[in-house]
Amino acid sequence: MTFPRSTLWLPPVLALALAASAGGGAEGGAQTGDGSVVTLEPVFVEASSANPWQYFKVPGYEVISHCPDDFNGKFARALDRAAAAREALLPEDFWVKLATPVKIILYNRKPEGRPGLARARPIDLSWEADEDGAAGPYSVVKSYPSVVGDGDTFINCGNYWDLIPGAPNFSVDPDSAILLESRAPQWPAWLRAGLEGPQGLVTNRVIESAASGPDFLVLPSVVWVSAAETAAILKDPRHPSAVLPLPELFKSPVTADLAAWEAGTALFVRWGLFGREPDGAPHREAFLGFVRSAASEPVSEEVFRRSFGMGYAEAEGRLRAFVATAVGPPVRVPLRAASERPLELREATPSEIARIVGEWGRLEGKAVGMQDMGYQSECLEQADRLFERAYARTTDDPQFLAAYGLYALQVGDMKRARECLGEATDRGVVRPRAYVELARVRLLDALPYAEQGIGDLSDLDYAAILRLLATAREQMPSLLAGYQVLARAMEHAPRRPTREDMAVLWGAVGLFPRNGSFAYKVATLYRRFGYPEDARAVVLRAMGLAETKEARARLASVLDGGR
């Protein structure tokens, strides 16, 4: 059984490979119900004059779509509701501000598979016969949206081929996890698990819409320990419930049983946001203040008491009592009114198709890596065709030039990378990664073959690199790559950096306090440049929050070297 390659002459827009099945099938094939293995060729989705790609914007998103206009309108409203749900759940400062909108690709080609073919990765056009992959309850089936990104831009791509007209309560959430995970300082692991884990608030949230009245964010009740245990608690709210001790909940790395820890984080976060004191007063603001503190300092009972006005033992008692509430009725939070702005649909330009769909191919090919070189090649080949054809037509779009330059850099076309990234940054493109990668290229170009350290870079080269990295930080302060390139450049500065020069890296350690490897790098630079006390301060600051034993041991070695 094979899937034919399209022979349309128009530019291919998306390469989707059907790859190895689950269950031990041969590499590059899929296993059928009788155990035989068949080789599956890539399936291409092509643009045509009868079904062009449409383009529209929603605040925070760019969307390119092959779906019908009524579905595009429904999806745009769902994106607005997703943003409203985030606003209702957590304050604005809990979500990272991305420098560029999240890109979304919607297409609707029916899979050319048959029951029994296993889905190898989310974007593949194969599926289990009895698998339900709904993106929204009873609205879209077997869409399997997949997200790729490189720190400053993220692309969500899904196949919405089986659309059910008029289905109620359609909801999507393409980026909440991204906006939580990319935030700096990074949230502690227990908060991320309580929001994104198996029973996390973001994972299970639903949006209910009504013909009239406000929409609601609905946070379903939890299953505590097991269905039987949950039923016992529902029958008798005084049924004894064991909760994980708070010191175990906050410990990093996690040493408790993972399932118990994930359940404990979900309970604590739900209690913090929606629980109430015995007198009925909420403690949401106390919880939010505690989380903000935990992002930049180790959690202790003193820190906990400072926020909540109680110690661990009292809080654990309240958590045990809250279990009965958590397994009870769902939490319903009203959302702000939906946007009334009309959806402005238009046909996508070649440069928009290339920079969104082509960049998805670049990032998807990069994400696959060595384990599936055939699929990677198909992704990169299609990206190359899109970029080349759009580049031949126009070079006026700085966003396109930045995307093409990053693609050229990934595939090793350094001449084209320098050309496109240079032109895009000269035009002031808002794309932090473009500035960081151009700075990295210029650093490598300027270094001699035999690197000696301080003095390797000229004043002119060093200043140009610093300007590029400063712009990247202005556009997105939470992009770690920019600080990593800056640290590398400082190793080869024209002269020894001063403490004032190092201040940016000192601040970056505070932005990424859980990144032990980065803190180690900065500490070793301070020591190398003759600032041992500053090196010690960096290590002591990082030791309390580093999330692995290996990172802590490496940091401790800096202190040992100073004795």
Instruction: Look up the CATH number of the domain holding residue 546.
Output: 1.25.40
- 225 with 212, same domain: the answer is no
Task: Note whether residue 406 is domain-resident.
Answer: no
pLDDT tens profile 448-485: 776 778 999 999 999 999 999 999 999 999 999 999 99
350 is a domain residue: no
Q: For 532-541, which contacts have Cβ atoms below 8 Å and span 24 or more sequence positions?
A: 532/562, 534/499, 534/502, 534/506, 535/562, 536/562, 538/506, 538/509, 541/509, 541/510, 541/513
Of residues 562 and 358, which shows the higher confidence score? 358
154 and 243 share a domain? no
Report how many domains make up the chain: 3
| Averaged pLDDT for residues 134-149 | 54
Q: Supply 496's token pair.
A: 């020894």
Report whether pLDDT(529) > 60.
yes
User: Over 70: is that where the pLDDT of 273 sits?
Assistant: yes
What number is the average pLDDT over the span 407-411? 94
The reported pLDDT for the residue numbered 394 is: 74
Give me the helix-helix angle, 398-411 and 359-368, nearest 10°: 30
Q: Are 512 and 487 in contact (CB under 8 A)?
A: no
Question: How many helices and strands, by DSSP H and E, does the chain display?
Answer: 22, 15
Contact 449, 480 (CB under 8 A): no
Range of the domain at 524: 497-563
Q: What is the pLDDT of residues 154-198, one digit of tens each?
A: 999 888 877 666 666 788 889 999 999 999 999 999 999 999 999
Strands 54-58 and 61-65, bridge-based pairing = antiparallel
| Same domain? 180 vs 255 | no
Q: What is residue 379's predicted lDDT score, i.e. its pLDDT?
A: 80
Domain boundary among 304, 329, 354: 329
Positive or negative, the Cα torsion across 383, 386, 391, 397?
A: negative
Q: Answer yes or no: do 177 and 318 share one domain.
A: no
Query: What average pLDDT does range 242-260 have in this prediction?
Result: 90
Are 30 and 132 within one domain?
yes
Which whole number is the average pLDDT over 135-139?
35
pLDDT score, position 180:
92
Domain-located, residue 490:
no
pTM for the model stands at: 0.83
How far is it, in rounded angstroms, from Cα 264 to Cα 242? 10
Cα separations (Å) of 84 from 219, 264, 275, 429?
Answer: 14, 27, 21, 29
Encode pLDDT of 196-228 as tens digits: 999 899 888 889 887 777 899 999 888 888 889
Residue 145, pLDDT > 80, answer no
Do 89 and 186 share a structural domain?
Answer: yes
- The Cα-based distances of 37 to 110, 392, 405, 452, 477 in angstroms read 22, 42, 40, 56, 49
297 shares a domain with 172: no
To the nearest 10°, the Cα dihedral for 297, 303, 307, 311?
A: 150
Is residue 44 located within the same domain as residue 125?
Answer: yes
The residue-averaged pLDDT of 265-273 equals: 95
Q: Does the structure show a pLDDT above 70 at 143?
A: no
Q: How far apart are CA 387 and CA 85, in angstroms?
A: 36
| Residue after which a domain boundary falls, among 329, 361, 379 | 329
What whole-number distance in Å separates Cα of residue 365 and Cα of residue 45?
Answer: 17
Whole-number Å distance between alpha carbons of 221 and 331: 7
pLDDT band of residue 536 (cuts 50, 70, 90) is very high
Burial class of 204 by CB neighbour count within 10 A (0 to 12, 13 to 18, 19+)? middle
Based on the fold, state whether residues 43 and 75 are members of the same structural domain: yes
123/150 same-domain check = yes
DSSP per-residue letters across 286-307: HHHHHHHHHTTS---HHHHHHH
* Backbone CA torsion sign across 216, 192, 142, 341: positive
Instruction: Return the ∠ at Cα 250 (arms to 247 and 252), rounded to 5°.
Output: 110
Looking at the structure, do residues 226 and 129 belong to the same domain, yes or no? Answer: no
Same domain, 175 and 81: yes
Closest CA to 376 of 354, 356, 360, 361: 361
Q: Any idea how long the chain is?
A: 563
Nearest to 354 by CA among 6, 26, 47, 23: 47
The whole-angstrom separation of Cα 126 and Cα 138 is 20
**For residue 16, pLDDT beyond 90:** no
